[in-house]
Each structure stands twice: as structure tokens, then as C-alpha cells.
Amino acid sequence: MPFGSNKIYSGIVRRVLDAAQVNSNNTAISLHGQIGDSDFATELFSEGKKNIVIKPIIDLLDEAPIITETMFVFWEWIADYYLCNLGEVMQAALPAGLKLQSNTLWTLNPEFEAENKLSKSEMAVLYAMPKNASKTSDELSKLSGIKNVLPQIKKLLEKGALELEVSLSDNYKPKMASFVSVAAEYSTENAMHALIDSLKNAPKQQAILMAVLQFGLNNFDTPTNSPNALPKFEISTKDLLSFSGISSAPLAELVKKGILLKSFKRVERTDTVETEIVGINPLNDFQQEAYRKILESFEKHATVLLHGITSSGKTELYIHLIEAQLQQGKQVLYLLPEIALTEQIINRLKKAFGKQVGVYHSKFSDSERVEIWNRSTQSKTGELTKHTNVEEFADYKLILGTRSAVFIPFNKLGLIIIDEEHETTYKQQEPAPRYHARDAAIYLAHLNNAKVLLGSATPAYESYMNANIGKYGLVELTQRHGNMQMPTVEILNTVKLRKQNRMKTHFSDPLLIKIKQCLTNKEQVILFQNRRGYSPFIECSDCAHVPVCEYCDVSLTYHKYKNILSCHYCGYSIESLKKCPACSSTALETKGFGTEKIEDEISIMFPEANLARMDSDTTGNRNAYRKLISDFEQGKTDILIGTQMISKGLDFDNVSTVGVLNADNMLNMPDFRAFERSYQQIMQVSGRAGRKNKQGVVLIQTGTPDHAVIQNIVKGSYQNLFVQEMEHRKMFKYPPFFKLILFNVKHFDKPLTDRAAESFAVLLRSRFGNRVLGPEYPAILKIRNKFQKNILLKIERTAPLSKGREIILQALEEFKASGAFNNVQIIINVDPY
């Protein structure tokens, strides 16, 4: 099966397959054929079937299957449920290192040291590789004279000689390091001393051995049963050379003589800083009770929702549940909505579980993702097959990751924890598969006979409803841990305050007074505004012209720091304007405000405070994120200004005040989930306030203080708003009562887009009747120069979905068969929220 497509070919395997290579439990194997560069075999036939296209297969790339049969069923489910191609799922699921393609670029690993195990053809490829340039597989094929070069590349990749060229925001390099150990015959102190004495004429070799000996005795215990024996240990070559201060030539001599044994190991990239394992904290009474209820609930339900208020210690509960799984020899997948959160939580988990923890997310380098992939599947066959140098590795028992981690093939999965399960980042919007990691994970758990724990202080309404109707178990945690009280919430009526002249630009007097107070008391402040940039648009005061994106139907956001106007939809940006392009007036005004403007104004009002801003403009790479968070944790920052990014479950100790600058722009979002989301975001960011033995304060600026969402936030009543919203959702046929499928019709030509959308809507309507809404222009008519029109299908929750999907695919077939709209794209988004 080629990548990105749904076509399935059959091939004749010309090579005799070793019985071990075709493990009957794992029918999926990867094949290299003429169809594409690196195709994927899904089934093995003993005889060619009739009526199928048969293509020859040149060679096998993987000696063992890289995915399990269960994973393949999972892929099929995603393709089926989210109405996309199996090839698209495969594209998303596999790290690049596992899907070699002829245009992939390769580079030499400068740290690779040959191990004398390379085959002739591997050597040919390695020698063909220039030192300081990258080459594609095709180029390497020409340079080495080997026609079919991918299997060699694959082997060199596994041995660490070649690397995938990947552009990374981080200095993340795959690493193989060499280690030496003392040969068995010299592993007693007497033998070693005799040996050292015998090397009088080679003082450098002597010095190296002394260094090895000293290192071993300093760092490792001698075996208790034989006091003369040296401890068994390894020392990295690099450490040894720097420790002894001697060059590598005498070391090589010792290896040649068989005195020292050299081995290669992958050095763990995630473990550059050793975390001391300190074990697990005991649970408090409330947590203990919740823990007991979760276990009880798991007896009846595969999925349990843990509704625990902020700072109730959900993570502590997770840790205890993980511990129980690991003790049973099971694996745990721990999903987080945001990479930033992994930084804070990974230390906590490593303290509890040490090296059993692996981290997997999109900002990691591909080679690292391959490594985690391999390590989490290694025990699949009960032996270490191809990764000959990694005997030292324990399997990862606990994988921490963002949504794409659901694609890692597990073999002993016992539990999936989905933290902050309400977060929208669990849903992939672009490109296909447009899956929701929470929903996919629940299916994945089902396939593996595993349990799922959803955790949130503000559960998504569909999860809460599932818990209410008994589909999921429900466990509540209503006490904050360690004497922390919920913060008090104060509403600041901006309309009234403005009339009283008590607003300075975007800040009310009470908020400013509170900030001042915090700074005096050396307490920290978080200011929340769910909009990045300086201001959402600029407007000419003379002619009211607003600069808009050339490719999208949206105004350009002003970024003062970079002095640009940029489009948040396509990334288009221009230098900021000095004059109005329409009337040449210089009276350009910034309208509205984003995080950058807040930062600007606060820095003028509180010049003594240290400010930091956390939004997607300031957190481009992992290090920037880490630094922002650690600076704030260490108190180097007084005021942290940010978008919803700061609301996602980060825990800080010294935040006494949280200011929500404009609740209204959240409430007014044109989205059926606007109220649910506003409540979630404000409650989440409020949860950052409060310290041990001291109550925090949340100040919310709004022009509509009587709004149901605001009132329920003041009361902290999740339930009230939920009940009220459910009435509306039911009445207007929205989730969780109805399932939504969005068809986004796109083309460069507006009339064609209109006609295509109309025509497709007719096809759908003939099948689904008044469940079809639209076509309608979305809020943004044009994105990246393509016009768009949306058709929305609302299907009863109880309707059989497989039937619905079949009918949709029929309609699509008919639409394509008409031939009138060849280049029109229809993007299908199932559960598009």
C-alpha cells in the first residue's frame, strides 16, 4: 500500500521469506516495490489471487513487522470513522524514519564509529556519502552503484551510521556513543594490577587502565561474594578520555589487545539530566477515596471520567494508577494536550518511575521518535532482534505524549490516561486524519483490553454527558490538596468603570491596584488574554480602511515587536504601514488588544516588574517554552502574560492573582461551544491562583457581568452551566445529542466553489433530508486564496454511523463521477470541534 493513498496492490515476494520474518501474529510487513518508494504490505497471500493488480516486490525493508495487527485494526478504524484514506492514517502514524522514501535526505552521523560489522554493500553506501552534505536515496544509489539502496540505508540507519536530515528547532541530535568495559580475565584487582605492571613500556595505556580502575571503584560497589573481584561496569569512551587526559590511540591499542571491550549504545536523548528516583507520595484522604472509586468504577466501565477541581492532585492519582499497572507488567500511555505540559510533568514522573518513562511528541526529532517506537515494541517478540546495541535499554513502560502518541504500537497496554481531556488540541484539524486523540484512545484501549481515565477540572460536555448516562464511570474530587483554598472571584464591570473614568486603556483601576499590591508583596501575577499579537487590526481614522490579508478574508494582526502585519490563517505578513494604502492618511489606529499590547502597556505602568509573555509567538521551540516556565517557577518573572497556553494545567506556587482581561471576546465567539469553552478557559486559568495557606484572587473584566457563564464562574458551578447548555444543544441539534460532519468545499474560483457546494449539498440532501444545513459561507470566506463554503450534516447520536458513512461515500462518488468539479476539494471533518 503506498503512502497517502487508499489503493492496495498485491505483490509477489520474490525472495524466500524466512519463517521468522513472517510471524503469523504480525501479518503486516513493509515492502519495497515498484509502486512507490516504501510501501506497506498489509496481508500475505500464499497464492496470487485473481482480479488484482500484481506488481513485483524487489526487496524487503524490514526484517520484522514494524506495526502490530492490532495497530492495523486501529488505523482502519480511524480511516473509517474520520472518513479518510488508510494511507493518510499511515502517513500520520509512522515516524519518517520508518517510511523511507526516495526523496528523503540522509546525512552522515559524525559521531558514528564503525563496528566492523558493516557488509560490503553497506560500506559502499557509506563511502559514497559525502562528509558535509546530505543526499537522497536516489543520489546514493547512483553514487554507490547499488541499484536498490534502501535496504542498505535502512541498516545503516539502524546502526547509527546515517541520519535522517530533519530541520529542527532544537539542537536535538541522535546519539550513538561507545563504551568500554574490562575483559573478564582482568576483572579481579590482582589481575588488573598485574596487567598494569606489565605495561611499563606503554605508560599511556597504563594511565588509561588506572583511570578505568579508579572510575570503577569510585562509582560501583565491588561484588560482595568475592572481595577481590572488580565491579562490573562500563564507562563511555568520551568520559574515559577526558578523565584520563589521554588521546584515543592507546585506548584503541587496549581494545585491540582484547583488554578492554568496546561496545556501542544509543545514548538516551531524553535523559541528559539524570533524575533521582524519589518514589511516590502517599495520597491524602480525599485522593485515597477517589483512587478507590476509580478502581471500583473500572470494574464496570472501560472508561472513567475523573472530574477533579484544579489543584486537587489529579496527577498524584495518576501516578498511583500508573504504579499499579507497572507492577502488573503493563504499559501506560499518558496523553497531554500540549508539549509545554510535558516539560513540567516529566520530571515528576521520572522522579517516580525513572527510566521507564519515554516521551513522544511532534517536536522531538524523528530519530528519537523511531527510537521510542522501537523501544515500546521491542518486547513484542520477546527478544531484541535488530537493535543489537541496545541490550541495556529497558522497555519504556510509560509513554508520555501529545495526540500523535496514540499511534505508538503497544503490546501490553493496560491504561491510557488522558489529562485535561477537554482540551481542543487533542483534535487534529489539518491535515487528514482529522482524528480526536481522546476518542481514538478510547477505541485503542478497547482493542487492547485496557482502561481509560479521562481527567479534567472542566470536562468536555460530551464526556460529562457520557458519564451522566452511565457510559463512562464518574469519580469526583472536590477538595484542593494541601490546605489550598479555591480562589475568590471578583467581577469588574468594564462598562460601569469606564463611565466612572476608572479604566486606563484595557485595565481597570481595581486590577491595577491589585497588581501593584502583588508586586510589593513579592507575589506573582498571571494576566490572561486569549488573543496574541499587538492588536487584531489597524484602522485608518480618516477613511476607515482596514488592511486585510491578500490571500484570506481576514484583517491583518499588528505585531509591534516585529513591526509587521500578519495573517493568523496563512502566515502572510507585510511590514507595518506608515500610511493608509487607501487615502494616504497617517492617522492609523490600532484596534482591540492582544498579549503583546498588554505586555507593552504593563511595562510602562510597572517599569520595575519583570514581565514575560507566553503565546505561540514566544514559544516557537521547546527551549523557549522551558525557559519561560522555569523562570516563572523560580520567581524570576513577576507578571506572566499569555493566551490560553498558560491555562493548560501548569502548576505554580506563588501566584496570588489572575487577571482575565476580556471575558467578552470569548463569550462572543461564533461557535456553538463558546460558553462551554469560555467557562473552561476562565476556570482553568483561575486555577493557577492560590498558594499554600493563602487564598488567591481572580479578577475578571467583562462588560456583561450578569452573563450566565460569568455568574457560574463566580459560583464555581460547572453543573449549572452544563444543564443549561444541554437544553440549548438539544434544542438546536448540537453535540453531544447530534453528531456533526462538516464538508468544507474549496476552490480558487468563487462561482465554481458556490456551484460545487450547491451540487454536493443536493446530493447529500437527497440522502439525509433536512439533516443537511447549508451551503453557507464560513466566517472567513477565503483562506490561502481559496474560497470556501461549508455544508454541515447533523446526524442523531443514536443513528448507526457505519450506515451514514457509507451513504456519504456514495454521495462523494456521485459528485466526483459528474466530472464537473474536478479540481474542487471537499474536506470532510467528522466531529469538527
The b-or-e profile of 147-165 (16+ CB within 10 A means b, else e) is eebbbbbbbbbbbbbbbbe
For the CB of residue 612, give the shortest distance to Zn ion in the complex, in Å: 28
For the CB of residue 431, give the shortest distance to Zn ion in the complex, in Å: 18
List residues near Zn ion by CB under 5 A: 540, 542-543, 545, 549, 551-552, 567, 569-570, 572, 580, 582-583, 585
Dist. CA 829–CA 814, nearest whole Å: 19
Dist. CA 241–CA 251, nearest whole Å: 8
For the CB of residue 572, give the shortest distance to Zn ion in the complex, in Å: 4
For the CB of residue 696, give the shortest distance to Zn ion in the complex, in Å: 39
CB 805 within 8 A of CB 812: no
For the CB of residue 434, give the shortest distance to Zn ion in the complex, in Å: 21
For the CB of residue 695, give the shortest distance to Zn ion in the complex, in Å: 45
For the CB of residue 830, give the shortest distance to Zn ion in the complex, in Å: 26
Q: Between 374 and 753, whose beta carbon lies closer to Zn ion?
A: 753
Q: How many residues are present in the chain?
A: 833
Dist. CA 445–CA 452, nearest whole Å: 7
Q: Between 233 and 551, whose beta carbon lies closer to Zn ion?
A: 551
Q: Between 584 and 719, whose beta carbon lies closer to Zn ion?
A: 584
For the CB of residue 542, give the shortest distance to Zn ion in the complex, in Å: 5
SS3 69: helix
Dist. CA 213–CA 180, nearest whole Å: 12
Q: Between 268 and 542, whose beta carbon lies closer to Zn ion?
A: 542
SS3 273: coil
Q: Which has the closest alpha carbon to 176: 364, 491, 390?
A: 390
**At 492, which helix (H) or strand (E)?**
strand 488-493
Q: Between 92 and 580, whose beta carbon lies closer to Zn ion?
A: 580
CB 423 within 8 A of CB 650: no
Q: Between 247 and 585, whose beta carbon lies closer to Zn ion?
A: 585
Beta bridge partners of 793: 741, 772
- Other Cβ atoms closer than 10 A to 19: 8
* Angle subtended at Cα 829 by Cα 403 and Cα 340, rounded to the nearest 5 degrees: 25
Q: Between 408 and 549, whose beta carbon lies closer to Zn ion?
A: 549
For the CB of residue 544, give the shortest distance to Zn ion in the complex, in Å: 7
Q: Between 400 and 540, whose beta carbon lies closer to Zn ion?
A: 540
* HEC per residue, 718-782: HHHHHHHHHHHHHHCCCCCCEEEEEEEEEECCHHHHHHHHHHHHHHHHHHHHHHEEEEECCCCCE
Q: Between 243 and 569, whose beta carbon lies closer to Zn ion?
A: 569
3-class SS shares of the chain: helix, strand, coil, % to 5: 40, 20, 40
Q: Between 551 and 606, whose beta carbon lies closer to Zn ion?
A: 551
The b-or-e profile of 366-379 (16+ CB within 10 A means b, else e) is bbbbbbbbbbbbbb
- Which whole-number Å values give the CA distances from 218 to 11, 259, 348, in the listed order? 59, 20, 29
Q: In what order do the strands lie in the sheet with 29-33?
A: 10-13, 54-60, 29-33, 39-41
CB 360 within 8 A of CB 354: no
For the CB of residue 783, give the shortest distance to Zn ion in the complex, in Å: 7
Locate 782 and state its grid cell: 477565503
Cα dihedral across residues 347, 353, 358, 361: positive or negative: negative
Q: Between 173 and 568, whose beta carbon lies closer to Zn ion?
A: 568
For the CB of residue 748, give the shortest distance to Zn ion in the complex, in Å: 14
Locate 395 and state its grid cell: 522497555
506 sits in the region (left: phi over 0; alpha: psi -120 to 50; else beta) called: alpha
For the CB of residue 555, give the shortest distance to Zn ion in the complex, in Å: 10
Q: Between 278 and 582, whose beta carbon lies closer to Zn ion?
A: 582
CB 833 within 8 A of CB 735: yes
Q: Between 394 and 582, whose beta carbon lies closer to Zn ion?
A: 582
Dist. CA 154–CA 90, nearest whole Å: 19
Q: Between 208 and 567, whose beta carbon lies closer to Zn ion?
A: 567
CB 445 within 8 A of CB 413: yes
* Angle subtended at Cα 171 by Cα 37 and Cα 156, rounded to the nearest 5 degrees: 35
Q: Between 54 and 582, whose beta carbon lies closer to Zn ion?
A: 582
For the CB of residue 573, give the shortest distance to Zn ion in the complex, in Å: 9
For the CB of residue 670, give the shortest distance to Zn ion in the complex, in Å: 19
For the CB of residue 747, give the shortest distance to Zn ion in the complex, in Å: 17
Residues 6 or more apart in contact with residue 631 via CB below 8 angstroms:
612, 637
Q: Between 102 and 590, whose beta carbon lies closer to Zn ion?
A: 590
Dihedrals phi, psi of 110, to nearest 5 degrees: -65, -20
For the CB of residue 785, give the shortest distance to Zn ion in the complex, in Å: 8
